[in-house]
Structure 1
Amino acid sequence: MRIGWKILVVALAAAGLAGWLAVDHQSRARALSAWHQLSGSAHHADEPPRKDWVKSPGEATSTLPRGVVELTDAQVQAIGLRTTTVKTQTEPVILRLTGVTDYDPATLTLIRSMFDCRIDKVLVGFGAVVKAGDPLLEVFSTDLAQTKSDYETARSQWIRDKKVLDYKAPLAKSETIPRKELIEIENDESKSRLLMKLARDKLLVYGLTEKEVEDVENEDGVQKARLILRSRADGIVIKRSVVPGNYYDAKDELMEIAPLDHLWVRGSVSELDADKVEIGQTLRIIFPYSDQTITDEVEGIDKAIDPETRSAKFRTSIPNPEKRFKAGMFVRVLLEIPPKPGETVIPRESMVSVDRLDFVFVQQPGPGHRFERRKILVSKETSDWVIVARATTEHAGLKVGETLAVTGSLILEQMHEDRLTIEGKKSSDRPRDDESFGRPEKSVTIKLH
C-alpha cells in the first residue's frame, strides 16, 4: 500500500512538470512568433524556431554574465531596435497641482467682550467690509458699569488728594506745617493717582476710546452699562456667532475679521513627490476663471502626511491689493522642482516595469549587441520621459553617455526570462531582483510603456 502511494505521487509530479514545460514552451513560442511578425518572416507558433533566433543550452548564451542579453544582427533588424543616450537632467520638473485660496490665520482678528455682557444690537453682518474703529456690537454689562464706577471713585479720590497737596505744599515750604505731614500728603496723592490710572487703563482694555473714558463722569447708571464694541482692524467679517438678546462671557468669540490685503494659497502634493518640495522653490499660481497668474515661492510645507488623502500640504501668500481674489477660490499650481545632481533623463519607452520594479537595458561596450538588464529607481516620470535617481548602494543608476535600448526593450525583457528558463535556472535558485525590497518574487507580468 505504501509503494502504491509513492507511485501515485511520482506520477502526479511528473504530470505537473510536463504541463509546466508545455505552458512555458507555448509562451516562448508565442513570443518568438511576435518577433518574426516584426521581422516580416513567415513563422508560426506551431513551427520550430529558427536557429539564428534561439541558442541551444550548450551555445555561447550560457557564457554571458548574469542579466546580459545578446542579439544577433537578424534580431536587431527584425525588432527594429532603436537606442538612445542617457542625458543629464537640466530642466526643472514641473509638478502640476491644485490649490485653494484661504485667509492668513496669523492675521485674523477675534472680537470678544472682555467682560460678561448681553448683546443688545448687532451693527454689522456676515461678509461686511469694515475698517478699524467701525462699530460692530452694542452690549450691556453690569460688570462694565461697576468698572466705570470704580474709575469715577478713584478719580474723585485723586482730585481730593491733589487739592490737599496743592494747599499744604506752600505751608510746608514756609515751615508752617511739619515736613513729615507734607510727605504723607504726597504719598496719598501718589497712591490715589496710581489707582485712578489702573481703573482708567482697565476701561481702555475693555474697549472704550479715550473720549468714552472722559465722558464716564457724565453718564448715569444705565448709560454706564452700555458700550459699543468696535473693530480693531480693517477686513471682512468672516464669522458671526452672536444673537441679539443672548448673554456671553469673556471667553466667547463674537465675530472674526480677516484682512483682504493678502491671501494664502494652500496646495497638496502626493506622498510620492512630497520629498521633492522645499521652501523657496518657485511656483506659478493660475486663477482659471479670471485669467490671472502670480509667481511666488513656497513659504511652508507640512511635516506630516494626511492619512486620508496621502498627501502633504504646502502654502504661499499672494498680494491682493485690489481685493479681487476671495478665499475659497480654486487655482492651478505649477511647482518647479530644480534638477538634482546625479539624476539623469531617459525616454519613457526605454523602461520596462516588472512586478512594480523598473528596468532598462544598457548596451555593453565592445562588438555585437549585448544589453545588460539594470534595475533603476525612478525619481519622476511623465508619459514622455523618466528621471532616474542618482546611484545608491541599492541600485547602480545610470551614467551620462550610456546607451539604452528604446524600441525593443520589452522583447529584451522576454528574452531575459527565456534565457533563465533555457539555462534551467529556477526562480527559487537565483537571486531575486526585488530581494532588497523584502518582497517575495512574483510571477512576471510585463507592462510596455
Structure 2
Amino acid sequence: MKIRWKPLLGVALVAGVSAWLAVDHRARGRAAELLGELAGRPAHAGEDRPDKAWTEAPPSRPEETARGILTLTDEQVKGIDLKTVPVKAQTEPVILRLPGVTDYDPATLTIVRPQFDSRVDRVLVDLGTVVKQGDPLLEIFSTELAEAKSNYELARSQWIRDKRVLDYKTPLAQNETLPRKELIEIENDEAKSRLQMKLAKDKLLVYGLTEKEVEDAQKEDGVQKARMTMRSRADGIVVKRSVVQGNYYDSKDELMQVAPLDHLWVRGSVSELDADKVEIGQKIRVIFPYSDKFIEDHVEYIDKAIDPETRSARFRASITNPEKRFKAGMFVKVRLEIPPKPDQTVIPRGSMVSVDRLDFVFIRKEAPPGKARFERRHILVASESSDWVVVPPPSRDHLGLKPGEEVVTNGSLILEQLYEDRLTTEGETPRERPIDDETFGKPEKPVVISAQPSVARSR
C-alpha cells in the first residue's frame, strides 16, 4: 500500500506546533499565523483560526477597545496561563552598580619646588617612598642660598652691635648724663637692625631651613653656606618624581609630588539616563577588587555636564584609608543607593510591554462572573533592572500605578497581541484617551493608541 507522506507530515507538524503553544506563550501570536498558513487558511480567519482558544478574545464593544479594555473568558485566562501580582509601593532603595577608580586628593597634594635657582646634588627618595613630615628629600646647592645666609649673618651682627650700644647708654640717659634725644636715636637704630635681622631670618625659613639650620648658618664657611637639605612638608607617599641628580632648576620647576595616604578620592561614572537620580549626600559602598574589603561614604560632588564622548556624568566621593593599603588608580565597583521616593511603585520586569517606544502594563479590573477584564495602561519608567521596574507617581504624562492593583506578569505579551488584533479586526482608527479630568482638573496631553499592528516586546 502506498503511503502518502506529505499529509501525514503536515498533520504531525500541526500537532507539534499546537503542543508547543501550550508551553511557550510568548510565541503564540506568530505561531498562530504559521498554523493558519499550514492549514491553508488566513492567519486572521476568525472562527477558522486553529489557536482561537488562546489568541482570540471574546467579542467586546469597540469603545472598550479604544479605552484599552480587553475582556477574556475564564477558559482563555486558564489556557494562556495568565498570572497577576499586586503592585507594591517602593520601600527599598534602588541600587546602581557603577564603575569607579580611586585617585589622590589634589587639594592635599604637596608639590616640591626649589625656592631659588639651585643644583640638585643628591636625591634621597624614590618614586613610591613613604615619607613623614620633616624627612629629607633632596640635597641642593645654590649661591642664592649662600647669599641669603650671609645677609642674615650680617643683619644679626649689626643688631648685636646696636643692642650693646643701647644697653650701655640707657643707664647714662637715666642719670641724665646722656641727652634724651641721643638715646631715642640709639633705640631707633636697634629696632631697625632687629627688624632687618628678622626679615633675613624669615627668608631662610621660607626657603625651607629649620630653626636649628638657621642658627647654625653663622658657623658655616665657604661652600657650606650654599648647601641645603629639602625636607617633606607633609606625611604621604612620593607619587611623582621628575628631578634628576646634577641638573639645575629654578622656582618654576616641579621636582616631585607627595600625596597623603589617610584618604582617597573615588571617581565614578553614571550614564545620562540615571544622572538625574544621583544627588549629593547619597550613600555609596566602594568595593575593592581581589579583596573582601569595602568602604562606605557619601557622594560629595556631581559634574554639571555630560561627557560628550562617554555620555555619562562623573561624581566623586572621599573615602578613608586607615590601613593605608589602598592606592590611587585602582578600579573599584561603586554601589550607589537611590532612596525610595513617595508614591513610586514597583512591578516585575515581565509585566511591562514596550510598543513603539511606549511602555504598557495590563491591570486586572472587575468583571462579570466567568469573564476577566484587563486595562491596558501606559506607564513611565523611573528605574529598571532585569527583575523589576520602578514606576513614578501619576502625572500629566501617565496615570501611574496604585499599590494593590493587580498587574499581569505571565501572559502580558499575549494580551498585547490580542489587543492589537482586536484593533485591527474592529477597524478602529487611532484614538486619544485623555487622563481623568477629576484627578488633575483638566485634560492632559492625550496618549495616542495606534490602530496599526505593531510588534510587542518585553523591553
TM-score range, shorter chain: 0.7 to 0.9
Greater CA drift, 329-338 or 149-158: 329-338
1:34 paired residue number = 32
Q: Give the CA deviation at 1:200.
A: 0.4
Compared CA separation, residues 350 and 168, structure 1 to 2 (3 A): same
1:211 paired residue number = 212
Alignment map for 1:303-322 (pairs within 5 Å): 303-322=304-323
Q: Supply the distance in 2 between the matched residues of 1:404 and 1:282 (Cα, whole angstroms).
A: 32
**What's the % identity of the aligned pairs?**
66
Q: Give the CA deviation at 1:382.
A: 1.7
1:395 paired residue number = 398
- Look up the SS of the partner of 2:354 in the other structure: strand
Q: Supply the distance in 1 between the matched residues of 2:98 and 2:64 (Cα, whole angstroms).
A: 50
Structure 1: state its 5+ residue gaps.
1-29
1:221 paired residue number = 222
Alignment map for 1:197-346 (pairs within 5 Å): 197-346=198-347
Deviations 1:346-373 (A, max 9, x none): 1111100112221111223343433222
1:78 paired residue number = 79
Q: Give the CA deviation at 1:284.
A: 2.4
Q: Give the CA deviation at 1:82.
A: 1.6
1:69 corresponds to 2:83: no
Q: Supply the distance in 2 between the matched residues of 1:156 and 1:322 (Cα, whole angstroms).
A: 51
Q: Give the CA deviation at 1:230.
A: 0.6
1:356 corresponds to 2:390: no
Greater CA drift, 290-299 or 210-219: 290-299
1:378 paired residue number = 381
AA aligned opposite 2:157: S
Alignment map for 1:84-95 (pairs within 5 Å): 84-95=85-96
Compared CA separation, residues 270 and 437, structure 1 to 2 (3 A): farther
Q: Supply the distance in 2 between the matched residues of 1:255 and 1:331 (Cα, whole angstroms).
A: 27
Q: Give the CA deviation at 1:44.
A: 6.4
Q: Give the CA deviation at 1:111.
A: 0.8
Q: Supply the distance in 2 between the matched residues of 1:183 and 1:54 (Cα, whole angstroms).
A: 115
Q: Is the 8 A contact 2:34 2:43 kept in 1?
A: no
AA aligned opposite 2:118: C
Q: Supply the distance in 1 between the matched residues of 2:232 and 2:400 (Cα, whole angstroms).
A: 61
Greater CA drift, 123-132 or 197-206: 123-132
Q: Give the CA deviation at 1:129.
A: 1.3
2:103 paired residue number = 102
Q: Give the CA deviation at 1:87.
A: 0.8
Q: Is the 8 A contact 1:355 1:442 kept in 2?
A: no
Q: Supply the distance in 1 between the matched residues of 2:339 and 2:40 (Cα, whole angstroms).
A: 50
1:167 corresponds to 2:168: yes
Q: Is the 8 A contact 2:420 2:452 kept in 1?
A: no
Q: Give the CA deviation at 1:43.
A: 11
Q: Supply the distance in 2 between the matched residues of 1:299 and 1:63 (Cα, whole angstroms).
A: 52
Q: Supply the distance in 2 between the matched residues of 1:253 and 1:152 (Cα, whole angstroms).
A: 30
1:424 corresponds to 2:430: no
2:46 paired residue number = 49
Q: Give the CA deviation at 1:432.
A: 12
Q: Is the 8 A contact 1:36 1:43 kept in 2?
A: no
- Look up the SS of the partner of 1:322 in the other structure: coil
Q: Is the 8 A contact 2:424 2:453 kept in 1?
A: no
Q: Is the 8 A contact 2:65 2:419 kept in 1?
A: no
Deviations 1:383-440 (A, max 9, x none): 221111112221111111112222221122223323333333445x76899x8899x9
Compared CA separation, residues 196 and 437, structure 1 to 2 (3 A): farther
- Look up the SS of the partner of 1:328 in the other structure: coil
AA aligned opposite 2:226: A
Cα RMSD after superposing both structures: 3.0
Structure 2: state its 5+ residue gaps.
1-27, 436-444
